[in-house]
Amino acid sequence: MFKKILIANRGEIACRVITTARKLGIATVAVYSDADRDARHVALADESVRLGPAPSRESYLLADRIIEACLSTGAEAVHPGYGFLSENEDFARRVEEAGVVFIGPKHHSIAAMGDKIASKKLALAAKVNTIPGWNEAIESPERAVEIARDIGYPVMIKASAGGGGKGLRVAFNDKEAFEGFSSCRNEAKASFGDDRIFIEKFVESPRHIEIQVLGDAHGNVVYLHERECSIQRRHQKVIEEAPSPFISEATRKAMGEQAVQLAKAVQYQSAGTVEFVVGKDQGFYFLEMNTRLQVEHPVTESITGIDIVEQMLRVAAGERLGFTQADIPRRGWAIECRINAEDPFRNFLPSTGRLVRFQPPTQTMFAAEAVPEGGGVRVDTGVAEGGAIPMFYDSMIAKLIVHAPTRGEAIARMREALNGFVIRGVSSNIPFQAALLAHPKFQSGDFNTGFIAEHYAQGFRSEDVPHDDPMLLVALAAAAQRRLLERAGGISGQLDGHGVVMGREFVAVVKGVAGQHQYLPVTIDLRQPAAGNTAALLNIEVGGQTYAVAQDWVFGRIRATGRSNGRPYTAQIERQGLWLQVAHDGRRIEVQMLGRRAAELLRLMPFKAPPDMSKFLLSPMPGLLVQVAVQPGQKVMAGERLAVIEAMKMENILLAHADGVVGELLARQGESLAVDQPILSFA
């Protein structure tokens, strides 16, 4: 076994590899860019080496610097993680030529399977079912349109070296094919240094199911069952689970055996994933093979009890797999939610900045350790409170993984874990994750890769989140208000007759759009707590319902736990000015608890509309302004490109919403923009 390895990556996956390396007694070397100087993976490693400036093309994509770091630190092997150089054939070959072990498949396997065009040809030769398409690199957007017409819309435009949703578009007409080709090529060149694009038929209503494989240098290959990855937004996975609630045992076996056959055809060594698109009739087609560790590997680890990173290390060190196909168990159900720095209420635009609060739910299950009896909660992350989410890399904050005996129990455990996950300073997609888990179609397992596009076609709003008991949130706000009054009432020096009065009757004002608030009468009574219970028990009546609430929330702490009518809950409560913000099961409301007279007066207050900013093009996110496509005085039509912003390795094209004339340019190309910063005005 190696004595020292270098991890050629950052963030969550670098921390994950360090965890297993420590278990095996292996010293670790981290690499970092200037943006990651104080990152968690750097602090966890035994040594660290600076690669260069923040952009990945000047740091994490520099193969020479990484190989030099291996040699200078005495690292015997390099783990590439996922993304960056993990599927770069040239990097793997050069690592091997430098006398360093590449902890992953051999470069010839990456060449055969990591390249989507080459892998599809190999799959065809091996008589594996493949999707109709054009398997040669396409030279121009005009040619892309011709090919798309021949195949028949809709088509999927994909970068040969793509991954993680980058360099991928679905086109339903000529215009989308033309623009999609250009965007894919630009993203692929920026992210992977390879701008080859191909096109294939887009199978409508598909499910995305993948098989995890492990191979060693002695010809042994096994599969670790499947992962269901159909819940995707813009072709990026949002929720993954294992096993799949859809496929039969016969399909599972057939897919697994086909994946093994494909891996053996390229003498595959290490962990890899064979991805399939599966139709309603359970017919499956080879999509691609990811020749690296997958983001969602923890769900497979949870149901099999196999540390996949450990197996990668052992295989790279020349060991045989210590188990056969018959030895691999499948226990219980695991679900993973990707917690991303994006604002679901602003069309999922990236959100960067400082993590003012970062308080994950209590972990009872850990990477590189055995899964506890009955399952648990695991958090894989590369950040800590006070850390930053930079604009230069992907948007992942953490991965939240749960395991339970059944799928229903796993969903319930995940919902409770999301309720307790506190993130402030940047926006996160936690409310959206909670909404997905509460959706009846998800709970029944009746979904496909178009699920989010179908059910959230108009975007996502807090009101879209189904909630079993919406009045509970108001009751929790009332309980928090009682706590605040008790705190104020305990302040010394209050004049007789002028002290804080607890009161029992209030009006809960639930904030609405454009001042259309909801007014609900609330009564709060203090009940005697049960014997041995020190928590105050409040009897709260709201909206014709009664809640017996015991709560541990205190001012300044966001997470609140307790019991309501005997049932445990976890919610988030915080005061923002005069309003209390309450979040539970993805639903978020803002409430003011007022006396009757104050509520009457509030009803009379006119609504103050926000300023009209329609004469400006505003940056919808923090990012880099890479292009301004118009000039002052230029006439523009609705739908015309105005500017392009790059954030978290994704191009975001800003289009004109109406016909008009460009006035003044207020930001320059190359400038770093803040959210809502004006880019240009309209005359």
Q: Which residues have a catalytic role annotated? A: 288
Rounded CA-CA distance 479/472 in Å is: 10
> Residues with Cβ < 8 Å from 463, sequence gap 6 or more?
none
Q: Compute the half-sphere exposure of residue 45: CA atoms within 13 Å on the CB side of its CA.
A: 31
Q: What are phi and psi of 164, to 5 degrees?
A: 65, 25
Name the packing angle between helices 308-316 and 297-304 (round to 10°).
Answer: 100
Rounded CA-CA distance 469/545 in Å is: 10
Measuring CA to CA, which residue among 20, 3, 25, 54 is closest to residue 393? 54
Starting at the edge strand that comes first in sequence, how are the strands of the sheet with 47-52 ordered? 47-52, 27-33, 4-7, 77-79, 101-102
- The per-residue DSSP string of 594-618 comes to E-HHHHHHHHHSPP-PPP--TTEEE
**What Rg do the C-alpha atoms of the chain give, in angstroms?**
27
Rounded CA-CA distance 233/344 in Å is: 11
Residues in the chain: 683
- Asked whether the beta carbons of 69 and 29 are under 8 A apart, the reply is yes
Query: In Å, how far are 503, 515, 576 from 518, measured between CA atoms?
Result: 21, 9, 18
The gap between the terminal CA atoms of the chain, to the nearest Å, is: 68
Rounded CA-CA distance 90/110 in Å is: 9
**Maximal C-alpha separation, the chain:** 90
User: Could you tell me the two tokens for 332?
Assistant: 């219980």
> Residues with Cβ < 8 Å from 549, sequence gap 6 or more?
475, 476, 478, 479, 537, 538, 540, 562, 563, 564
Query: In Å, how far are 388, 400, 555, 670 from 425, measured between CA atoms?
Result: 9, 19, 18, 25
* Residue 130 per-residue DSSP state: B
Measuring CA to CA, which residue among 463, 467, 87, 432 is closest to residue 232? 432
185 in the Ramachandran plot: left (φ > 0), alpha (ψ -120 to 50) or beta?
Answer: alpha
